[in-house]
Amino acid sequence: MRRLAVLAWCLWAGPAPARDVGHDVLVQGALDIELGALLEALEGKREHQIHAWTFWTGRIAGRRIAVSRTEVGPYNAAAATALGIERFRPRVVVNQGTAGGHNRKLKLWDIVIGAKTIDYSAHRAEPAGEGAGQRPERWSPAPYKLRLDGKTPTEFTAFPGHPELVASFLRVPYARGTLYAGAIGTAFQFNKELDRIAWLHRTYGTDSEDMESAASAAVALGMGVPFVAVRIISNTEWEHPTFERIAGRYGAEFVLEWLRRAVPLPARTRRGTSLR
């Protein structure tokens, strides 16, 4: 897994020039409950409204930080990520927030650090005639294609988290639960059927589900910005089906601790092409 992640992040030629880097970190959350702790810690906070999406900038531990309220869902997340990268030129993107569990080893408050993110709504179906019904066993994951060099399409059934960022989050002390490097699933779905959750875990290898991470990951990868998703388990259908809103704050506090440690950040992998 680590070898594949490193390969994906090395498909661009050379580091970006320093002048392409504005803010150190772009931190994302879809909901206000996932952003409160970060916004409270942001020194010299300024608000920026870019079309339908809201951003705040300031400093945490001396670093320039941009905070993004992506809003809910893959389309919102993709748009907010592209706008955030263009406007604030971050060195890295961290998508964080709450998630439901897919892997039964996960407990409430555990945190999944995204070694990869997966769009589990992407699938291909084998042909079936009228009246043959809908059968998940005829479905298989479908890849996305990105022209990382602007020329040759590269297929992704999962988007790798940057290995240095994954490792740095795994080193942050966390007392509420366990930290896992795993596969974070994304779709505009809220799954509560145990059999479907088990099927998604078997078929896609997902450990958790949310509605934004993979969309943000794809955009960051395509724009050459190191990315990681960090998701706290707020509910599990097999053990704790009630959504715990406070998980949003706990997850943000964990990310805030990472920010305060001012860990070394990986370099952007290539110069982006400005939309302006």
Closest CA relative to residue 182, chosen from 264, 242, 106, 237: 106
When computed from its CA atoms, the radius of gyration of the chain, rounded to whole angstroms, is 18
Give the span between the Cα atoms of 274 and 276, in whole angstroms: 5
Q: Average pLDDT, whole number, for the chain?
A: 92
pLDDT at position 3 is: 57
Contact status, residue 38 vs residue 77, Cβ threshold 8 Å: no
Contact status, residue 99 vs residue 232, Cβ threshold 8 Å: yes
CA 173 from centre of chain: 20
Q: With a cut of 60, say whether residue 9 has pLDDT above it.
A: no
Which of helix, strand or coil describes residue 17?
Answer: coil
- pTM equals 0.89
At 47-70, the pLDDT tens digits run 999 999 999 999 999 999 999 999
Q: How would residue 13 be classed by pLDDT, with cut points 50, 70 and 90?
A: very low
Mean pLDDT lowest among 5-19, 74-88, 253-267 = 5-19
Q: With a cut of 90, say whether residue 31 has pLDDT above it.
A: yes
At the fourth CATH level, which superfamily is domain 2-9+21-123+140-260? Nucleoside phosphorylase domain (3.40.50.1580)
pLDDT at position 12 is: 43
pLDDT at position 125 is: 85
At 92-111, the pLDDT tens digits run 999 999 999 999 999 999 99
Average pLDDT over residues 147-174: 97
Could you identify the residue written with the tokens 């608000």? 47
Q: What is the share, in percent, of the chain residues with pLDDT greater than 90? A: 82
Alpha-helical runs (H) found in 135-274: 163-170, 194-204, 213-222, 246-260
Better-scored residue on pLDDT, 20 or 95? 95
Give the span between the Cα atoms of 86 and 17, in whole angstroms: 15
Q: With a cut of 60, say whether residue 72 has pLDDT above it.
A: yes
Average pLDDT over residues 224-252: 98
At 180-193, the pLDDT tens digits run 999 999 999 999 99
Q: How would residue 273 be classed by pLDDT, with cut points 50, 70 and 90?
A: very low
Q: With a cut of 70, say whether residue 270 has pLDDT above it.
A: no
